[in-house]
Structures are given as C-alpha cells and as structure tokens.
Amino acid sequence: MTTTTPNTSHETEASRADEPLLVVEDLAVEYESAGAVPWRRKVSRAIDGVSFEIFPGETLGLVGESGSGKSTTGRAILRLNDAAAGSIRFQGTEVTTLGRRTPLSYRRDVQAIFQDPNSSLNPRHVVGRCVDDTLRTHGVTDPGERRARAEQAFDQVGLSTDHMHRFPAELSGGQQQRVAIARALVLEPKLVVCDEAVSALDLSTQGQIINLLADLQAITGVSYLFIAHDLGIVRHISDRIAVMQRGHLVEIGEAEELFTNPQHAYTRKLLGASPASKPEGRDERRARREAFRQMHEAETQLA
C-alpha cells in the first residue's frame, strides 16, 4: 500500500528522486510478557508486517490508537527493541543484525525526541551537560569545541547559554523539550524519531516546538518520523502519514490526501474521533460516530 507518488511539499520534491533514507520491511517486534518463572512467560507480537520508507528531508507521521504499536516501531528503529522478523535498512545498511553494540555512526545519524521532556533529561545534570556528554560520546575531545557546538545548538533551539547551567527542574516543559531537541540535533543526524514529542506540552508551547522542528528541518534537511495520537498536529507537520492499528500498518499516503480521502475504515474512524477545532457541526459529528458505533456493534453481533 506504500505510495510513491511525488510529494507536493517543496523540500521533498527534489529529494524524492533520491534513494529512501530508511526502508522498513515486514518488521515484527515481540514482547515477552512478565511471568514469575521462565516457562510461564509468553511471547506476543506487538507489531507485525510493518513496511514503510522515509525519504531524506521528509516527515512521515505515524498515527493510531494507544497500543497500536507506534512507539514500538520507533523503538525498533532506535534499536531499543530487537526486531523479531523483517528488516530495517538505513542508507542501505541492514540495522537489525548489527549486534549488541550499535555502531556510533548509526547513533549519530538516528536520534530521538521523547514524549516526556522532563524525564528524558537526567534530573541530576545541568542541561548543558547532556549536550556535552553527547558530543563527548561521539569523540569530540576538545572541551572548547564541545562548548562552542553546544552553545550553537542551544542557540538554534532558542535557548541562551544561561540555560545551559540550569537543571531540568528549573526549566519549563517547553524549554526542556528544546534541550532534548538540541541534544538530538547537535550531532547533525539524518533522521529523528519524535515519539509524541509535543503531546506533553501545553497548547501555547506545542506550536512553538512544531515551528522549531519545521525550521530546523528546512535548514538541515533532517527527516522526521513523527509519532503522535493527535491527528491535527500530525496533519500540520507531516508530508505523508501512516496509520497503524493493532500492530499493523493499515494505510499510508500523502497527508492531505489521507485527511480528505481516507481509504481504510479505521482511518475514517480515527478521523471521526479526533476533536475538531471549532464547535460547528458537532451534533452531526456525534450522530455520525453513533451510527458508526451501531454499525460496528451490528457487525460484531453478526460475527
């Protein structure tokens, strides 16, 4: 179901001719359920048969209800979960078979921004240090160079050097998320997995972070896998959108196309469920949801 029609967005138009940056094919991830003794543990597939591509400079939105496997997909790409089957190829290199220790080059190219900005920063370190540690890990040994690059990164995300000496608890949620973005982008990655990167933020801050992500993309040409349950935000930021349901990818397509002309029934349900931004027509929307529900109930009763 993967679409290959060219994107209308200007940055990606040219790049679409390129090779895809990331190719995920038939990916499956399994979790072991907790049990007191080994033989009581069961293995269940959280995602199965997931395939998509991400092109350079593109934002792919990933939506779906809770537990549908969005985060699991992102975590597999980040190698925080092992793949049980399928392949993930980044710039042509197979990632799933890399072994226990992930090469630093992959770590440099693929970064993450997580949902909870507060817990994604070490509470005991001043935030400047988390950028500094990142650079140090990647072999920037000269402290002066590290400081200069950290300052530049902070500046890019709209923070001052003064912020570098603060602890996470002394920053607002939006500022913390900016630090997380600075950490992710200081290595100049090619792909950033944003797992609910703005969901924990206040409305007035969400917009700032989204604008920031878009600006940084325009400058650096980074690609995003943008995971969120809020369709409005995904629509705003994504070039293409993939929809997941119960561990499977059910639809993928150009953002506007998917919103205006959803193909899969589940996508339609998801769209119907997401709150509109204005009150007009809410009674009709409620009636439609009700009809949908009754139809669904009738179906399950038949089955």
Ligand X SMILES: Nc1ncnc2c1ncn2[C@@H]1O[C@H](COP(=O)(O)OP(=O)(O)OP(=O)(O)O)[C@@H](O)[C@H]1O
Single-letter amino acid, residue 140: V
Span interacting with ligand X, options 49-57, 63-71, 151-159, 163-171, rule CB under 6 A: 63-71
Specify the amino acid at residue 259: F
CB under 5 to 8 A by kind: which of other proteins, Mg ion, ligand X, none does 221 bind? Answer: none
Count interface residues toward Mg ion (CB under 5 A). Answer: 1
3-state secondary structure of 241: strand
Question: Of other proteins, Mg ion, ligand X, none, which one does residue 69 interact with (CB within 5 to 8 Å by kind)?
Answer: ligand X
Site for ligand X in 74-93 (CB under 6 A): none
Q: Which residue has the tokens 């899969």?
A: 264
If the CB atoms of residues 68 and 156 are measured against Mg ion, the closer one turns out to be 68
If contact means CB under 5 to 8 A according to the sort of partner, which of other proteins, ligand X, Mg ion, none does residue 89 touch? Answer: none
Residues in region 29-48 near ligand X by CB under 6 A = 31, 46
Here's the x/- map for other proteins, 145-184, by CB under 8 A: it reads as ----------------------x-xx-xxx-----x--x-
Helix, strand, or coil (residue 64):
strand
User: Is residue 64 within the footprint of ligand X (CB under 6 A)?
Assistant: yes
Which of residues 47 and 131 has its CB atom nearest to Mg ion in the complex? 47
Q: How far is CA 272 from CA 114, 147, 263, 265, 290, in A?
A: 27, 49, 13, 10, 11
* Residue 113 backbone dihedrals phi, psi, to 5 degrees: -130, 125
Q: Which is nearer to other proteins, 15 or 134 (CB)?
A: 134
Of the residues 277, 284, 299, 303, which one makes contact with other proteins according to CB under 8 A: 277
What does the H/E/C string look like for 114-178? CCCCCCCCCCCCCHHHHHHHHHHHCCCCCHHHHHHHHHHHHHHCCCCHHHHHCCHHHCCHHHHHH
What is d(CA 175, CA 182) in angstroms, rounded to the nearest whole number?
10
Give, as ranges, the residues between 283 and 302 that touch other proteins (CB under 8 A): 285-286, 289-290, 293
42 vs 125, beta carbon nearer ligand X: 42
Contact set for other proteins, span 75-94 (CB under 8 A): 78-80
Can residue 110 be called a binding residue for ligand X (CB under 6 A)?
no
71 belongs to the binding site for Mg ion (CB under 5 A): yes
Query: Of 185 and 252, which CB lies nearer to other proteins in the complex structure?
Result: 185
Pick the closest to residue 274 from 284, 283, 285 (CA basis).
285
Q: Give the whole-angstrom CA distance, residue 12 versus residue 224.
A: 12
- Say how far apart CA 16 and CA 247 lie, in whole Å: 27
Which chain residues interact with ligand X by CB under 6 A?
31, 46, 64, 66-72, 229
